[in-house]
A and B are shown apart, each in its own frame.
Chain A
């Protein structure tokens, strides 16, 4: 049984189509992350699942029941908002219990549920406070508690960590992962942060212009991106994209004299002659000695930055840029020519015209 099913969801505002046919099926216990830059329609999609907005076309099914036209409160969902959206005039306990209160759950039962939830989130000592007396992280916990206490079929998260500072964000991320593992809940989570997506998700839907660009596990998204967009969106520093022209199995990097002999499997797919984009993750590059005939490419080193755990080397090939993440103690000098060896299995070749993976 699928916990959530979206069938050809479309949303139009006047003549502008923000969602262009979303199909998606989510098994119980999955953690789905909707990943995309702002304006890609991910929050609209979440609001449609929640029932805060209605789709222009298509059907939303929760637990094999169509919920199109059903009020949010009857959809068996709970939602955590970006701004926490706590009720400032109520105590933490009442905030958490509000959903139960509205559903006419008896006070004693409600108090017990609130206690239990507070214990899971380690906020038992905050129950009597008002939201204004809490820190950002604590407010976030209360907001999660408000969703948790109702034990709904699906949890919806709308960029819940984006208002927190970097350190707290990491803590809460781990906390969310822990909750998901502990409670086995089904979650749909919207974010523009690729690290959140990679770490939390069991599956990621990368969205762009109202469509799902790729729906796959984090591993697949990272190692086998379906399009150039997905490849460049996920990963930090982002994947190198070298424009090249393939002729007879050899890719000539545009704007330079460098060329790469393509591995056999890719050679076949690339065919005889076409314009391609070669994607290389910065961490699949390593230093090679000059004249080393291993699979690699020559570049001119421009900037060397030590971030601590790694050395980020930015260099140029003709007029194109190549970034490499190297071990911190690598010997690289800015302003010199350097040969980089490439892990042959880590080449991603995209068609330049369509952006699709070959």
Chain B
């Protein structure tokens, strides 16, 4: 490492700490809110650390008593998992072949740009056509219908990401495999896809997060426990006459857990995918 003065070192650490504080503060506050009692949350001046730690709201939200807030929340948690999971899987299924085709055939690269262009449209513009289409297909208030809508958002994005991943894999490797006698499916299965695995993991995680956090379409296209997702359920908690901020915070903490767990599991693949976008030959 190069020589650095003490002031510079202090400055670097201070900057890093500041960045960490800015990023972490809302999350920490969310967690504190979720374990504070309602009285602690509404006292003035604000109490930064609760007098007694109150975990009861976690019990409320995770209870399975019929017709309770808990049951609705748990149902929406599973809806979210299903919708985001299906949409992500379908997005990868679409993205991998199309991204490979675009990457290996520069002449059709424009088509990807055309698809990306649809990305520029505000979601509101598509809301009515999508609503009518879902209604015609009988897929309103249905996890499959919502997953289908999410697929249209995720597929362009994952294709784009996968294309840059495939771009970084030298074509000569595939040529070599062709000369070695591998069929197209063997080349993809044995060579290209294993090499693109880190990018695939990155694409999957980002797609999952995007679907997990989506609110607008979910609000429009779902109406009850059969298809409502987490984001909508959390909004419902805030929509009553009396809002329990602690409860909303608890729901937020619980909603953040599944993506966090997935992220932790894919950490290694993710880091290499984010940093070098692929493989060196």
Contacts and interface: CB of A to CB of B under 8 A. Distances in A.
A174 B182 CA distance: 32
Contacts of B182: 73, 98, 102
Contact of A83 (B170, B179, B191, B194): B170
Contacts, number: 64
Interface string B137-180: 00000000000000000000000000000000010110111111
Give the interface size class of chain B. Answer: 10 to 19
Interface stretch (A74-82, A164-172, A181-189): A74-82
Contacts of A86: 173, 176, 281
A84 B173 CA distance: 8
Interface in A278-318: none
Given A87-B191, A88-B195, A98 B175 contact: no
A72 interface: yes
Contacts of A132: 280
A89 B280 CA distance: 11
A220 B147 CA distance: 71
B181 interface: yes
A52 B178 contact: yes
Interface string A88-108: 110000000011001100000
A189 to B, nearest CB: 16
A81 to B, nearest CB: 5
Interface residues of A, number: 25
Contacts of B175: 52, 79, 81, 85
B279 interface: yes
Interface string B224-245: 0000000000000000000000
A87 B173 contact: yes
Contacts of B280: 88, 132
Contacts of A83: 170, 172, 281
B186 interface: yes
B182 to A, nearest CB: 5
A102 B186 contact: yes
Contacts of A51: 179
Contacts of A77: 179
Interface of A: 50-52, 71-73, 77-79, 81-89, 98-99, 102-103, 131-132, 146
Closest 9 CB pairs of A and B: A73-B181, A102-B181, A99-B180, A85-B172, A85-B176, A81-B172, A89-B194, A85-B173, A72-B179
Interface of B: 170, 172-173, 175-182, 186, 190-191, 194-195, 279-281
Given A85-B170, A87-B173, 19 more contacts: A51-B179, A52-B175, A73-B178, A77-B179, A83-B172, A83-B281, A84-B281, A85-B176, A86-B173, A86-B281, A87-B191, A88-B173, A88-B279, A99-B179, A99-B180, A102-B182, A131-B281, A146-B176, A146-B180
23 contacts: A50-B179, A52-B175, A52-B178, A72-B179, A73-B179, A73-B180, A78-B179, A79-B176, A82-B172, A83-B281, A85-B170, A85-B172, A85-B173, A85-B175, A85-B176, A86-B176, A87-B173, A87-B190, A88-B195, A98-B177, A98-B180, A98-B182, A102-B182
